[in-house]
Structure 1
Amino acid sequence: MELSEVIRRRRMVRNYDPDRPVPAELVEKLLGYATHAPSAGFSQGWEFLLLDTPADVQRFWSATAPEEELPGTWMEGMTRAPVIIVPLSHRDAYLDRYAQPDKGWTDRDEARWPVPYWHIDTGMASLLVLLGAVDEGLGACFFGITPDRVAQFRAEFGVPEAYTPIGAMTIGYRAEDKRSPSLKRGRRESPSVTHRGNWGDRAAS
């Protein structure tokens, strides 16, 4: 599939066919795409928790979304996804990398960073997984783990404090679902979000 078509067709899929497992080789391919994302200083401060058995998927939902919250919500269809990938950012990988001789920030001061690139780069890696899923004929959705559930998620899967789950991705074969009400807002096209030269000077449409 052409890249332009992959981008055009990308959407968040919130309902999956529970009777169609995702081949392991496709999951590995998606994770391989993730490792090609850009990262500051080639720090590559990302890790991925792969949950691809029914038991592990159920453990995820039990830890992050209590059963009583699921029926009748948009998340009900999400629980049918056979695969969940949780991308985790690792701040210390960046602080350590930029304390090396070719970078020279030996104090490891987080304040040197204009924004937390460990989160940004892990998000870029996640987007490659989302785009790869479209290219492979799969559906996927990126969503957040609520702050009050992060500790329970960590405890359930033994995730160290040094690694931050920036979200989670369901992956599977799409089942019919409803359009998100948010889409009624419409897509902002490039002329409406682009400033040329100075803020407020819009690019020509």
Structure 2
Amino acid sequence: MQFQDVVHQRRMVRRYTPEPVDPAVLTRLLENATRAPSAGFSQGWAFLVLDTADDLARFWDATTPPERAGRPDAWLRGMRTAPVVIVPLACEDAYRRRYAEPDKGRRPGQQGELPWSVPYWHVDAGMAALLILLGAVDAGLGACFFGVPAARVGELRARFGIPDDHEPVGAVTVGHPDPGPSPAGSPARRGRRPLEEVVHRGRW
């Protein structure tokens, strides 16, 4: 598939068929994710892959607020049909270690503030997640990135043994899109902002 086709066909898929994802394709999506750029080539990411019925059930149980568990809405019912969930994780410590190395202008072992105004471990994990989304389209699959409720992150950590120094930045469902009706996402309600509204040339 041509890159422009991948970009234009990418959308958040919220309902999937029971067909499993080919393990070789899943491996390719994860390999793509590791090709994302990262500050200082720190590569401070990790990916929790859940593709068994038991793991998927534990994921949804861990991340679903109690008030929604007994009465799942259309979004949750659709998302639970995904045969794969990938949880991208960001490790701040990997960046602090990397930027304490001599080639980054620090003396060996020197600590201190990182030279940025934004947490690039989150940015980089997000770019890795985007490569999974685009790779899914290229493979004829669908995918959806979504957030884990803040109040449920602790339970997610406990269920799957996620280390304290790795932070979930969201989750990605992957599978074969269900051709039937799917819960409408924000683009259907809001529309895409035109280029002239978001691009500022030379100055704001």
Classify the TM-score, shorter chain: over 0.9
CA contact (8 A) 2:12 2:185 kept: no
Q: Deviations over 1:143-196 (max 9, x none)?
A: 000110000000000001100000000000111214325522110122210111
Q: CA deviation at 1:67?
A: 6.7
Could you list the runs of 5+ residues in structure 1 that have no partner in the other structure? 200-205
Contact 2:48/2:88 (8 A) holds in 1: yes
RMSD of aligned alpha carbons: 1.4
Aligned twin of 1:57: 56
Aligned to 1:112, the other structure's residue is in SS state coil
2:130 equivalent to 1:130: no
Q: Kindly state the Cα deviation for residue 113 of structure 1 after the two structures are TM-superposed.
A: 2.1
1:144 lines up with 2:147 in the alignment: yes
TM-score with structure 1 setting the length: 0.92
8 Å contact kept, 2:133–2:143: yes
2:157 matches 1:154:
yes
SS in 1 for 2:104: coil
Question: Equivalents in 1 of 2:19, 2:90: separation in Å?
Answer: 30
Question: CA shift at 1:66, angstroms?
Answer: 4.6
Deviations 1:82-138 (A, max 9, x none): 000000000011010010000024543345321100000010010000000000010
Q: TM-score, normalised by structure 2?
A: 0.92
1:5-20 → structure 2 map (5 Å cutoff): 5-17=5-17, 19-20=18-19
Q: Distance in 2 between matches of 1:111 and 1:45?
A: 14
The answer as to whether partners of 2:78 and 2:183 remain within 8 angstroms in 1 is: no
Paired AA for residue 172 in structure 1: G
Alignment partner of 1:34 is 2:33: yes
Cα distance in structure 1, aligned partners of 2:134 and 2:80:
21
